[in-house]
């Protein structure tokens, strides 16, 4: 939001996102000038130039018409906005696992009509198939942990499809500090940063998990960050996180940043999401709703 000086406790501003007047529940489209109330973290029409002024034709004023940050009625008289569906963590990875498993079973039974059932019983799914189940489980576990933090100022989206692409974003958290793009991974080994170059050569940061070069994971998260930034605009901070669930983290320290992407574990991530930031509660709700509209559930 872009603020302009107004009263002592209020600010005239041009809305970056659509809002709702807390006095009369009128819709306030994006780019509309309105008054932001710091004390209540809500907005109101410019016609209501006195804080607490009642809505036309209502004796109780604000108490009768007050609306929360995302347009949901507090007292029941304002028209409620449609709820945002947060999505199901790991849903697309789980479907891909089931699809691959079903195709393998169909192929084996067609090739071996009599022995197909026995072959399936004594053989294992290929690693390329089980990897999808492992990934789905990681997203589901992390999703449950994130959902435990959900509140008016921590809003979540899971398994969001990127239009025009076969890729998806595992988790999005909208907080007062901005938007966090979260990629969940179940890799074994210890994540660590390796830096090559320096004074005489260009500095190159690479992500390793054990002895495995996983720098491509950082590239993927940075791409997702840019997509999200294109949706929310430059006024909303966006950062990326790689959350390793089964990694061999040390007892002390361990978290690090590689090319602007944080590498950490679930508990450390949850702690970071609970921090303060520049976005008011209403802005958090509006950013959450905008991301849900642009990035549908997978």
Q: Are 297 and 88 in contact (CB under 8 A)?
A: yes
In Å, how far from its chain's centre is CA 199?
37
Asked if the model's pLDDT at residue 84 lies above 90, the reply is: no
The whole-number average pLDDT for the span 130-155 is 94
Q: What percent of the chain is predicted at pLDDT more than 90?
A: 61
Tens digit of pLDDT for each residue in 8-49? 567 787 776 667 777 776 767 767 788 887 767 677 888 765
Looking at the predicted structure, is the pLDDT value of residue 288 above 70?
A: yes
pLDDT exceeds 50 at position 61: no
pTM: 0.71
What mean pLDDT comes out for the span 85-104? 92
If you average pLDDT over residues 255-266, what whole number do you get?
97
What DSSP letter does each residue of 210-276 carry, written as one string?
TTEE-HHHHHHHHHHHHHHHHHH-TTS-EEEEEEESSS---SS---EEETTEEEE-HHHHHHHHTS-
State the pLDDT at residue 18.
65
Please determine, for residue 227, whether its predicted confidence score (pLDDT) is greater than 90.
Answer: yes
CA neighbor of 47 nearest in space, from 58, 33, 61: 33
Mean pLDDT of the chain: 83
């Amino acid at each position: 939001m872009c603020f302009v000086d107004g009263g002592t406790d209020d600010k005239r501003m041009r809305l970056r996102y659509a809002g709702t007047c807390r006095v009369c529940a009128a819709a306030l489209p994006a780019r509309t000038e309105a008054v932001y109330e710091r004390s209540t973290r809500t907005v109101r029409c410019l016609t209501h130039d006195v804080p607490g002024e009642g809505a036309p034709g209502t004796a109780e004023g604000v108490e009768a018409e007050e609306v929360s940050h995302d347009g949901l009625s507090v007292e029941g008289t304002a028209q409620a906005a449609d709820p945002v569906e947060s999505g199901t963590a790991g849903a697309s990875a789980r479907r891909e696992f089931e699809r691959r498993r079903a195709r393998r079973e169909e192929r084996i039974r067609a090739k071996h009509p009599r022995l197909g059932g026995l072959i399936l019983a004594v053989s294992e799914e290929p690693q390329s198939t089980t990897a999808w189940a492992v990934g789905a489980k990681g997203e589901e576990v992390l999703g449950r942990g994130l959902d435990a933090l959900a509140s008016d100022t921590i809003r979540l989206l899971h398994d969001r499809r990127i239009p025009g692409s076969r890729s998806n974003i595992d988790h999005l958290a909208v907080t007062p500090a901005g938007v966090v793009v979260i990629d969940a991974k179940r890799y074994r080994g210890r994540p660590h940063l390796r830096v090559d170059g320096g004074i005489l050569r260009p500095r190159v940061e690479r992500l390793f998990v054990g002895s495995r070069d996983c720098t491509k994971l950082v590239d993927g998260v940075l791409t997702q960050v840019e997509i999200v930034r294109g949706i929310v605009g430059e006024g909303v901070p966006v950062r990326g996180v790689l959350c390793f669930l089964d990694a061999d983290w040390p007892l002390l320290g361990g978290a690090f940043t590689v090319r602007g992407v944080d590498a950490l574990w679930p508990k450390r991530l949850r702690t970071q999401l609970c921090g303060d930031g520049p976005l008011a509660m209403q802005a958090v709700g509006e950013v959450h709703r905008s991301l849900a509209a642009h990035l549908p559930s997978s």
